[in-house]
Structure 1
Amino acid sequence: MRDEAVVETGRWRSWLWLALAASGMAALIVALVLWLASANRARDAALDLQSTSSERIILAATFDATMARSEAALGRFVISGDRALGTLYSDNWNNSGVLLDRLEAAARDDATQQVRVADLRKAWKARGAELAETAIRTSYRQNSEALATYYRIRTSPALDRLNALTGAVIGHERAVLGRRTTAADARTGRSNTLTTIVSVIGIVLVAGAALLAFVGLRAAQRRRREEARSEELEEAVAERTAELSAANERLVDEMATREAAEARLRQAQKMDAVGQLTGGIAHDFNNMLAVVLGGVELAKRRIDDGKGDPGRYLDSAMEGANRAAALTKRLLAFARAEPLLPSATDADALIGGMSDLLDRTLGERIAVRHLARAGDWPIFADRHQLENALLNLAVNARDAMEGGGTLTVATAQVTVGSSEIAELAPGDYVRIAVSDTGTGIERAVLDRIFEPFFTTKETGKGTGLGLSQVFGYARQSSGTVTVDSVVGTGTTVSLYLPRHLGEAGAADADIADIVHWRPARPAKILVVEDDRRVLTATVDALHELGHVPVACLGPDDAAAQLRRHPDIDLLVSDVLMPGQTGPELAAALRTFRPDLKVVFVTGFTGDIASANAFGHDRVLRKPFTIGTLGVAIDATLSDVPTRVPTRALETRAAA
């Protein structure tokens, strides 16, 4: 009995030790499993961090590549003027902004990278502003300025800052990626070690060991896939960077070569055009001066000897001076030194008024027809510039009809839909079509006819400036020009000008109607002019009109004169003067005389010719007659709108 008790006790103790051993083994396995699970979570976290860094590198590299593609597209846009390339530049630059937003979102958990990305966005905006200036100039066909701007910003602080910050972001993430890869490898190694231990100890627990082995295998496979993907990404980024660098170098070389060739060509064309222009201008001015000097001399002789009527010789001299003034205005318009002065205009009435001018200009072999179909649709345009444009088109048509033919000027009411005519906004337009029965234009030439200095005429017969002026005028007037031509049949050039919803203005009064103008009331007028002869002439003219002028040679003494004569009603000031412009002088005087009324007189507005330079003050163009000066002064003093009839000068000179 005692032996059985001893055996039972020993068996119980064996089972107890076995249970304790099993419990210990189970506890060890559970501990190992928990440890393994913890190691796997740490490894997964490290791999996730590694993936985050890889994503940031991809975003930064793609951001850099997208900006490079955008700048390359802008360069091609500047060279070719192709708006499809301009759109490509805009799309790529917008995409780079989207990538920058994604990079900023991905870097939220890294304070250092957040600062870099914020600085990167500032540099990106600064670079975008530089590129936008070039794109806008190209869109408005200011190709020379756009090309110069593009070459100037090839290297800029914003670009250097942008490249430096992009490199810093990628470099930081690569360093972080290296550390995270090392940490992931270490955690993966520990995970594999624990898996082996659990596998050895868990031979009894085959299912558990197999499960742990499977988990370890999956972790290793995922790590290898991440490593392979990281290597592929590095190779792709390096390859794309090399391609972009090579493409950029080729583009820079091509642009430099083309710029040099175009510069030489433009210089040769400009010199030829300048020679032709100066010769023609000198000839015309000599003719006009001969009329002026001859008329003045003959009038002086008639006054001295008391025989005959000197008035007709003075009229002849005045006509010559008027023609010279009109030629000067045309030169200023060509140089774009004068802004457009649009008004509501009846296109058919304007064309009808040009009939005599067209007949004399084109000669007897050209028959001129006018098909008036604009109806009651007026246009808002600069009448003088429109006359110049139509005259240019008529002269080109005459040259295309060497043996004679028919020139047709037809107007029509046209409603343009969206994208119906390139770069023309939808709406109502008056179309003025100038058609000839000449030789027509070949397709290769047709694509270039609006380029400045391009001409197919032989040397001495054309400068290549007429059609470019027509195109520029149409675009300034919110319209456009189209050309249709059939070789051997003829050409039609169509001007599209926006319809004006008001009524067309009446034609300008003839100068003869206001030669003997008398003021509504005498006024005391401060006259500021830096040219002594012009000052004397203006003061004499005001005396002749019955006003009381106060002369001031230059702007320096104007404020003192105004304080000395507090009863001055009006300021008549030149625009461009040494030290201070007319608008600047008027603004200074109005600080203590806010009610001061102003009339500006100028022959060249230069750099200050803009929509807001003169505010609501009147501008009288030099040279002016006593009558036109009187009209402007009376209208200013009475605060009523007026149209000083200077156009009569220009229309007479055009003949």
Structure 2
Amino acid sequence: MAELVQELAIGSGFALITEEALRDTDPSALVKWIANQPEWSDFPFVLLTQRGGGLERNPAAVRHLNLLGNVTFLERPFHPTTLVSLAHSALRGRRRQYDARTRLEELNQLATDLERRVEERTHAHAAAVAQLHEAQKLETLGQLTGGVAHDFNNLLTPITGTLDLLQRKYGDSDPRSGKLIGNALLAADRAKTLVQRLLGFARRQTLQTQAIDLAGLLTGMRDLVASSIGPTIELDVAPTPNLPAGLGDPNQLELAILNLCVNARDAMPDGGRLTITAEEITTDVHRRAKLAAGSYVRISVIDTGCGMSDETLAKAIEPFFSTKEIGRGTGLGLSMVHGLAAQLGGAFMLSSEVGQGTRADLYLPVAENVQPLAVPTASGPPPAASGRLSVLLVDDEDLVRLGTAEMIRDFGHSVAEASGGAEALAMMAEGLAIDAVITDYKMPRMDGAALAQRLNAAYPSIPVLVITGYTGITEDVLHLPYLAKPFTQSEIIQALISLVGRNLGVVQDAKV
């Protein structure tokens, strides 16, 4: 066996072995040689047996097969021509392996040359790969969240609505139940926020883009930011005078800035200073932001916290990456800000050093025709008034439809239910008298946009409200009044009031 292995190491076309030679010898050296063959090699063996190679006739053949691998069994006695034929076949196979070795060596040489060329352009290559990776993440996550958000928001709608209804009915009479329901509502709201952050990173949320007085927005957020970061952190909000308007969605922008401030707070557990500034810049002095030519407003959130290492900074905007404890963050805050900036045609940049704090810069395109910010109003039930609406509610999800119907009925209004567009049109054709239609957007066969078009053509005086948990709504829906899922009882009633232009609210003691 030792001599055989030595000859194999020198180089051979194939090996001819008798079955008896393997019976009373230690094959470990041969097994080791076979296992250590190079990737191109599968050395052929011809084994001479007494009872043939069939497993049913020679059970020992299984052991030989496992031992030798590429083995051909030849039963004795045999004709010399058979042996010669097997020898030629084994040699041809071995020559093909040597040819494969030559081609593999050539490929390895080419790979070595290519690797050298790649090393010469490392920086450009790394930048291209990083951009491609980022684009792929955005696209993949965008496709995922587009569908998941619809289903997730549909599930949250009856949960949020029912909890809100129970809170109004029993929260005051049973403080313990009220507290539990309140906690459940808080959890549902956090789930809604999580979906919005996912959509923000994936650039799939619907933006109400307009010109924004950014100085007024930042000044108006001072109290909210101060209450969020706590008394141990000194806050300085200092936008530059005569700041031009920025293009963006005020609600999403407030959420993004608040996310940055909360991150800054977490980086300063022992207190510190948080500075929020805003100034106009041009791209010719800020090429690193990779912005198109033009003027931008840069909103900067600067803290004096612990800062980030280069490794952490490189991963900071990746989805679900977080340095916080489990349960204290989703890892989507910075990625949401990044996605929002990109969707608005701006950019988001981070700079940080360990022990020196962090600076977050959000670039927004400069806009014209600034509009004053709307003054927020306190949420609550619509004002009580007499009046009763007849509503047709269309939704293919039974749980969502039933929950929404009960929220509307609880305010004293009448609700007829349909599980699809065709059923809704049939009910209208039969003479159903209604004041408004509320329809889901994403439904099989006929979606909310198609249903709204059919209703507008046949019944132009009946207003339509689209409720949707889907984020990719198209232009044929954007002109219609719509309400995002999940929503509370107050939100659906307020939407109805706006839809019909009447001051309708709770019908006292109404039981429908």
User: What's the CA shift for 1:364?
Assistant: 3.0
Is 2:467 aligned against 1:598?
no
Counterpart selection for 2:276 from 397, 405, 409 = 409
Question: Which whole-Å deviations, capped at 9, do the CAs of 1:477-527 have from their partners, x for residues lacking one?
Answer: 2111122334433221111112231223433542447621659x9765422
User: What's the CA shift for 1:630?
Assistant: 4.7
Return closer, same or farther for 1:347/1:320 CA change in 2, 3 Å cut-off: farther
The equivalent residue for 1:229 is none
CA contact (8 A) 1:294 1:317 kept: no
Distance in 2 (alpha carbons) for counterparts of 1:552 and 1:143:
39
CA contact (8 A) 1:479 1:495 kept: yes
The equivalent residue for 2:172 is 299
The equivalent residue for 2:103 is none
User: What's the CA shift for 1:386?
Assistant: 2.2
User: What's the CA shift for 1:397?
Assistant: 2.1
Question: Which whole-Å deviations, capped at 9, do the CAs of 1:214-260 have from their partners, x for residues lacking one?
Answer: xxxxxxxxxxxxxxxxxxxxxxxxxxxxxxxxxxxxxxxxxxxxxxx
**In the alignment, residue 425 of structure 1 is paired with which amino acid?**
A
**In the alignment, residue 82 of structure 1 is paired with which amino acid?**
A
CA contact (8 A) 1:344 1:380 kept: yes
The equivalent residue for 1:528 is 394
Question: Which whole-Å deviations, capped at 9, do the CAs of 1:518-562 have from their partners, x for residues lacking one?
Answer: 59x976542213455654564566567776643324444111111
The equivalent residue for 1:585 is 451
Distance in 2 (alpha carbons) for counterparts of 1:290 and 1:495:
37
Return closer, same or farther for 1:344/1:567 CA change in 2, 3 Å cut-off: farther
CA contact (8 A) 1:292 1:320 kept: no
SS at match of 2:208: coil
Is 2:113 aligned against 1:82?
no
Name which one, 1 or 2, has greater alpha-carbon Rg. Answer: 1
Return closer, same or farther for 1:351/1:422 CA change in 2, 3 Å cut-off: closer
User: What's the CA shift for 1:373?
Assistant: 2.5
The equivalent residue for 2:477 is 614
Question: Which whole-Å deviations, capped at 9, do the CAs of 1:79-109 have from their partners, x for residues lacking one?
Answer: 96624x89xxxxxxxxxxxxxxxxxxxxxxx
Return closer, same or farther for 1:339/1:368 CA change in 2, 3 Å cut-off: same
Distance in 1 (alpha carbons) for counterparts of 2:357 and 2:284:
27
The equivalent residue for 1:332 is 195
Is 2:322 aligned against 1:465?
no
The equivalent residue for 1:142 is 136
Q: Which runs of 5+ in 2 are unaligned?
A: 1-113, 144-158, 503-512
Return closer, same or farther for 1:81/1:616 CA change in 2, 3 Å cut-off: farther
SS at match of 1:571: strand
Question: Which whole-Å deviations, capped at 9, do the CAs of 1:453-472 have from their partners, x for residues lacking one?
Answer: 44455777665433222211
Distance in 2 (alpha carbons) for counterparts of 1:289 and 1:355:
34
The equivalent residue for 2:86 is none
The equivalent residue for 2:89 is none
CA contact (8 A) 1:523 1:548 kept: yes
The equivalent residue for 1:361 is 228
Distance in 2 (alpha carbons) for counterparts of 1:529 and 1:321:
25
User: What's the CA shift for 1:296?
Assistant: 5.4
Return closer, same or farther for 1:335/1:454 CA change in 2, 3 Å cut-off: closer
Distance in 1 (alpha carbons) for counterparts of 2:395 and 2:453:
16
**In the alignment, residue 132 of structure 2 is paired with which amino acid?**
T
The residue correspondences of 1:210-359 to structure 2 (distance < 5 A) are 297=170, 299-300=172-173, 323-324=186-187, 326-336=189-199, 338-359=205-226
SS at match of 1:299: coil
User: What's the CA shift for 1:635?
Assistant: 4.1
CA contact (8 A) 2:391 2:434 kept: yes
Distance in 2 (alpha carbons) for counterparts of 1:327 and 1:467:
17
What's the TM-score, normalizing by structure 2? 0.57
CA contact (8 A) 1:332 1:338 kept: no
Counterpart selection for 1:386 from 253, 257, 265 = 253
The equivalent residue for 1:506 is 373
Distance in 2 (alpha carbons) for counterparts of 1:572 and 1:331:
26
| Higher RCO (CA < 8 A, seq sep 6+) | 2
**In the alignment, residue 448 of structure 1 is paired with which amino acid?**
K
The equivalent residue for 1:561 is 427
CA contact (8 A) 1:292 1:321 kept: no
CA contact (8 A) 2:243 2:279 kept: no
The equivalent residue for 1:632 is 495
**In the alignment, residue 292 of structure 2 is paired with which amino acid?**
A
The equivalent residue for 1:651 is none
**In the alignment, residue 271 of structure 2 is paired with which amino acid?**
G
Q: Which runs of 5+ in 1 are unaligned?
A: 1-68, 87-136, 150-285, 302-309, 640-655
CA contact (8 A) 1:518 1:630 kept: no
The equivalent residue for 1:13 is none
Distance in 1 (alpha carbons) for counterparts of 2:232 and 2:314:
29
SS at match of 2:189: helix
Return closer, same or farther for 1:491/1:539 CA change in 2, 3 Å cut-off: closer
Distance in 1 (alpha carbons) for counterparts of 2:321 and 2:399:
42
**In the alignment, residue 399 of structure 1 is paired with which amino acid?**
D
SS at match of 2:216: helix
CA contact (8 A) 1:345 1:380 kept: yes
The equivalent residue for 1:232 is none
Return closer, same or farther for 1:572/1:296 CA change in 2, 3 Å cut-off: closer
The equivalent residue for 2:301 is 434
Is 2:306 aligned against 1:449?
no
Identity %: 32
SS at match of 1:557: helix
Question: Which whole-Å deviations, capped at 9, do the CAs of 1:47-91 have from their partners, x for residues lacking one?
Answer: xxxxxxxxxxxxxxxxxxxxxx9xx99xx99x96624x89xxxxx
CA contact (8 A) 2:198 2:332 kept: no
SS at match of 1:409: strand
CA contact (8 A) 2:163 2:181 kept: no
CA contact (8 A) 1:367 1:405 kept: yes
**In the alignment, residue 299 of structure 1 is paired with which amino acid?**
D
Question: Which whole-Å deviations, capped at 9, do the CAs of 1:621-649 have from their partners, x for residues lacking one?
Answer: 2344555445434544569xxxxxxxxxx
- Residue correspondences, number: 363
The residue correspondences of 1:103-122 to structure 2 (distance < 5 A) are none
Return closer, same or farther for 1:533/1:516 CA change in 2, 3 Å cut-off: farther
Question: Which whole-Å deviations, capped at 9, do the CAs of 1:271-290 have from their partners, x for residues lacking one?
Answer: xxxxxxxxxxxxxxx9x999
User: What's the CA shift for 1:374?
Assistant: 6.2
RMSD (Å), alpha carbons? 4.6
Return closer, same or farther for 1:605/1:488 CA change in 2, 3 Å cut-off: same
SS at match of 1:141: helix
The equivalent residue for 1:265 is none
**In the alignment, residue 369 of structure 1 is paired with which amino acid?**
D
Distance in 2 (alpha carbons) for counterparts of 1:81 and 1:374:
41
**In the alignment, residue 141 of structure 1 is paired with which amino acid?**
A
Return closer, same or farther for 1:313/1:413 CA change in 2, 3 Å cut-off: farther
User: What's the CA shift for 1:143?
Assistant: 4.0
**In the alignment, residue 138 of structure 1 is paired with which amino acid?**
L
**In the alignment, residue 127 of structure 2 is paired with which amino acid?**
D
The equivalent residue for 1:648 is none
User: What's the CA shift for 1:614?
Assistant: 1.6
CA contact (8 A) 2:246 2:364 kept: yes
Distance in 2 (alpha carbons) for counterparts of 1:141 and 1:541:
42
